[in-house]
A and B are shown apart, each in its own frame.
Chain A
């Protein structure tokens, strides 16, 4: 039997979550050791005997047995999960309790518990995202560093610090206390949203890596939706937004390996199944009275997804959706996206006016697509020389070869005086987090 893709990575998250529930959050490192040990065992045995029928169950059973060993050997020397009290101390209760904690339903709750714990208010958003990727999604420090196009040392520092905060919190987040769940949920939404955006708009030049980040965010959002307290309109809206945007991933890089904007994409490559799934989720999100930024962004995404030709896009509606978004969740990035929509609707001069009017636009100074947008609009109103300077500025800020290549091609277009292509695109919302970081 062939293991499904990323089986080990996925199981790593499930095992750490289950083990931390038993050992206690302060023994996170011990839980990670047990997981590594289970993988080593699987490696050794499977090498010689081939894959078992149910590899997930095999790994879980190995982790469970190892956990029992550790509990028996170290129960006098260490304290384990305070929530479990004395249940782990007696042989009468130890095995049945551990057995129960490794049941599939229990593990699902453990994932949720860990997800909420990672979104600890003492952690910065980028640390929360890194921690989720590391603990719940099983990415190593180097894999995260490479996905974020960051240095290994920087990510290692971020994760080590975050783990310290996590391990220092007295216990895992309790998902059974409704008031706490509801209060922490927006932070969890935000972290998943940023995780998705890191994949969708992020700096990694490898489209496979980016798609993986998007899929991890979608998988965790699905875990939220399975919990009665998690299945609220905002979660549906967030999931809808992810599906609708992820549907476009296959078209974002064109046949020659270049970044392809929303306007140039071959829309036949869009994943119809994901579009339909997204639209269905968007419908579910429409109950209730709360209107979140995810609702509005999902609505914007659906306005694109349901149109087969870029020229038929309903820009007036999109501009008004951006107005709503600015009202409930203002940021310079949202304002820039709004200006792009205005430019599509009323022409490049109006778009440039709107950009001029963005108050805190200096916060966009390190973001390559800010000068790139200025360049596109200048080019479109027939000023290729001004446009070229903007693209040059964008080139200096480019974060990876794909972006560099994209801006270089735009500079060539300016030199040729051809303004027919219109590669403006909706821009990452995650810049607020990245801004100011090298």
Chain B
């Protein structure tokens, strides 16, 4: 088993309450399924849409958001999967894709010291 992180981008703030509830229920169902199949290493966290970026030797501090709303990472989860292609398959169930968002699948490097 290898570990991967899913980075979620995109959110739909203009949805009606009914649509948001449906979307949320899809997420809960998707997460539950991943969990039951033993793919969730750590459920992760949502991230606030605000924050700071510290950059360069000058250590200049910039206000977030850092990019267009659709490009902001707004949550992450740690996944266990056989290999990258399985992790990618798992990410395809993510409801964020249905509202035009994206999931970035990144293998986590294991450090053998």
Q: Which positions in A face B, CB cutoff 8 Å?
A: 2-3, 6-9, 11-12, 36, 39-40, 42-51, 138-140, 142-143
Contact = CB atoms under 8 A, between A and B. Distances in A.
Identify which of B11, B20, B23, B31 gathers the most chain A CB atoms within 10 Å of its CB.
B20
Contact of B16 (A40, A42, A138): A138
B75 A44 contact: yes
Contacts of A9: 16-18, 21
Nearest to B24: A43
A139 B20 CA distance: 12
B40 to A, nearest CB: 10
Identify which of B11, B21, B45, B77 gathers the most chain A CB atoms within 10 Å of its CB.
B21
Give the size range of B's interface with the partner. 20 to 34
Contacts of B19: 140
A48 B46 contact: yes
A46 B28 contact: yes
Interface string B26-50: 0110011000000000011110000
A7 B27 contact: no
A8 B43 contact: no
Contacts of B77: 48
A46 B27 contact: yes
6 contacts: A9-B18, A43-B27, A45-B46, A46-B28, A48-B45, A50-B31
A8 B28 contact: no
A242 to B, nearest CB: 22
4 closest A-B pairs (Cβ-Cβ)?
A: A140-B16, A44-B46, A8-B17, A8-B21
Contact of A50 (B11, B23, B28): B28
B21 A3 contact: yes
Contacts of B43: 48-49
Chain A binding surface, main DSSP class = helix
A48 B44 contact: yes
B75 A8 contact: no
Contact of A51 (B11, B20, B28): B28
A140 B17 CA distance: 8
Identify which of B16, B27, B44 gathers the most chain A CB atoms within 10 Å of its CB.
B16
A12 B17 contact: yes
A48 B31 contact: yes
A170 B74 CA distance: 40
A42 B24 contact: yes
B12 to A, nearest CB: 9
A142 B16 contact: yes
Nearest to A44: B46
Contacts of A12: 17
B11 A40 contact: yes
B13 interface: yes
Contacts of B23: 43
B25 interface: yes
Contacts of A11: 17
A433 B78 CA distance: 56
Given A48-B46, A48-B75, A49-B43, A39 B27 contact: no
Contacts of A44: 11, 46, 74-75
A262 to B, nearest CB: 31
A198 B15 CA distance: 24
Contacts of A7: 21
A44 B31 CA distance: 13
Nearest to B44: A48
B110 to A, nearest CB: 24
Contacts of A143: 16, 18
A138 B43 CA distance: 31
Given A40-B11, A50-B32, 6 more contacts: A47-B27, A47-B28, A48-B75, A48-B77, A138-B16, A142-B16
Contacts of B44: 48
B24 A46 contact: yes
A47 B16 contact: no
A40 B25 CA distance: 13
Contacts of A48: 31, 43-46, 75, 77
Contacts of B20: 8, 39-40, 43
A44 B23 CA distance: 11
A170 to B, nearest CB: 28
Contact of A40 (B13, B32, B45, B75): B13
B3 to A, nearest CB: 17
B18 to A, nearest CB: 5
A406 to B, nearest CB: 29
Nearest to A45: B46
Contacts of A36: 13
A139 B11 CA distance: 20
Contacts of B15: 140
A49 to B, nearest CB: 7
A2 B24 CA distance: 11
Contacts of A6: 18, 21
A138 B18 contact: yes
